[in-house]
Amino acid sequence: MREISSQKLKEMRREVSLEFPVDKTMQELHLIRWIEYLKTREMSTKEKLDYYNQAKQFIRSKPR
């Protein structure tokens, strides 16, 4: 899994704020999607499935 530098993250934030200037929710969603892509783009399909299945255990589908 690749790490994203703070400089790259700043550039990404700047770009999404230009794409969605009035919608903070869309900015955050697009940024998260972009970060996940960059972190996993060099993984094989099996590695991606393992990565997301492992992450699933930390996600709650229903509020407590």
* DSSP summary character for residue 58: T
Q: What is residue 34's predicted lDDT score, i.e. its pLDDT?
A: 93
User: What is the tens place of the pLDDT at every residue in 35-45?
Assistant: 999 989 999 99
Residue 11: how many other CB atoms lie within 10 Å: 11
User: What is the tens place of the pLDDT at every residue in 3-61?
Assistant: 888 999 999 999 999 999 999 999 999 999 999 999 899 999 999 999 888 877 777 66
**Residue from 40, 59, 61, 35 nearest 51 by CA:** 40
CA angle 61, 62, 64 (to 5 degrees): 135
- pTM for the model stands at 0.72
**What residue ranges do the domains of the chain occupy?**
6-56
